[in-house]
Amino acid sequence: MRATTGTTVTVETVLFIPWVGDVSYISLEGATPTFTFSLINAVVSLLFILIASQTNRSNRPLMIYLCMGLFVHLVSSLFFIFFPERFPYSLADYSKLYILQQIGTWLTIALISGVATDLILSRGGYKYAAFFITVLYSFIFGCVRYVVYLYILYKFSLLYMAMLFFIFGVLYDFLGMIAIYALFVRSVSDLMSSRSGREVWRW
């Protein structure tokens, strides 16, 4: 079918896990960056890396993470400057890899969240609420991010593919899970500190 932009968009399928069945993903053409665009991105990335590396200690962890992302983007920019015709991935490839990675992430988060919450609290509504909120958050966040990232790569350039995949990818799914788990542990801690909670402990 054709999108409102006039670009042909198709839905492809690929077999990921046999018992899950076929996985569908969007296939469309992305924008290849020009030499000038790649050069500007390379210069800007290098400039910000130099600035971020000189920051004070209080912001050092954030700056290290920022430098990692900028370094990945710098390498991607240099690749498009010197070997643009050899770039091995299309937007359709990214779309497929994203979906396969996201399904694996959903399964992993569901497993880890289920085990982690059960170890803290074997019964009660808090455990089930934390588990379902974590899974629901991961699902919604992964779907919304998929649309946003495809739009960025289609509208602007494939140049940002590496940074979106490696720097702004799976890490944020697990950050969400950790945040929800931290709130869950705090709630359980408050519960155990109450009079009714202390009655559970008999030592």
- The mean pLDDT value for 50-69 works out to 81
**pTM higher than the cut 0.85:** no
Residue with token string 């739009």: 151
Regarding predicted confidence, which is higher, 194 or 98? Answer: 98
List the structure tokens of 202.
């008999």
117 — pLDDT class (breaks 50, 70, 90) = confident
pLDDT at 123: 67
Is-contact 94 29, C-beta < 8 A?
A: no
Domain positions in the chain: 88-203
Eight-class DSSP state of 194: S
Q: Which amino acid is at 28?
A: L
Comparing C-alpha atoms, which of 3, 1, 40 is closest to residue 155?
3
Is-contact 11 18, C-beta < 8 A?
A: no
Structural element, H or E, at residue 23? strand 21-27
List the structure tokens of 90.
């299309």
Residues 126-160: tens digit of each pLDDT:
788 888 999 999 999 999 999 999 999 998 889 99
Contacts of 196 (CB under 8 A, 6+ apart): none
Strand segments, DSSP code E, in 101-200 are none
In the beta sheet, which residues pair with residue 8?
2
